[in-house]
Amino acid sequence: MEKTSVSPGRSRSLKTGRIGRSGQSGRSARAALLAVSLVCAAGLARAAAPAGFDAAAAFGARPDLLDVSLSPDGNHIAYIVPAKGRGTVLLTASLARGVQEAKDTPVAFADGKPWRLLHCGWVSNRRLVCEVYGIAQDTTLTSELMEV
């Protein structure tokens, strides 16, 4: 490797070499990358679907949880879950006494004809703003914000 100094207004090319002795750093980096790749691949192979899992039935199923939001003070949680048909429900729970003591309180409901709850966020520790959307008969997508 060659060290050079460059004075202002002049440009010079620099010779570069391998880091470490005899290029061993490059080989050990490749070996480390290969080891990490093998460990990740082994983990993915073990993470196969559990026994009794029906992928075809799960393909069209709605998720169990659609949206989650934590209040600014961390004492309340708001989350949206699916309801009957296309509907959605906004639930809140107080976390002040711990997760095991939290009780779900329904706050808002949308029947899915056409309105659905999309997202709710905390504006303060006691107030939420939710985005609702719907698809009208003419396939026009509309959305609104509502105060909860």
Q: What percent of the chain has pLDDT over 70?
A: 61
pLDDT score, position 40: 55
pLDDT score, position 83: 93
Which pTM was predicted? 0.57
Residues 6+ apart with CB under 8 A from 115: 132, 133, 134
CA dist., res. 33 & res. 53, Å (int): 34
Residue 122 above 50 pLDDT?
Answer: yes
Range picked from 15-29, 30-44, 69-83 for highest mean pLDDT: 69-83
**Cross-strand pairs, 69:** 78
Residue 116 above 80 pLDDT?
Answer: yes
Residue 99 above 80 pLDDT?
Answer: no
Of 24-28, 57-61, 122-126, where does mean pLDDT reach its minimum? 24-28
Provide the b/e sequence for 61-83 (b: ≥16 CB within 10 Å): eeeeebbebebeeeebbbbbbbb
* Residue 92, token pair as written in the block: 């809140």
By three-state DSSP, how is residue 35 classified? helix
pLDDT score, position 13: 37
Residue 37 above 90 pLDDT?
Answer: no
Say if residues 89 and 108 touch (Cβ distance below 8 Å).
Answer: yes
Question: How confident is residue 134, by pLDDT bands cut at 50, 70 and 90?
Answer: confident
CA dist., res. 76 & res. 95, Å (int): 5
Handedness of CA 9, 15, 20, 21 (dihedral sign): negative
What is the arithmetic mean of pLDDT over 42-50? 55
Return the higher-pLDDT residue of 76 and 39: 76
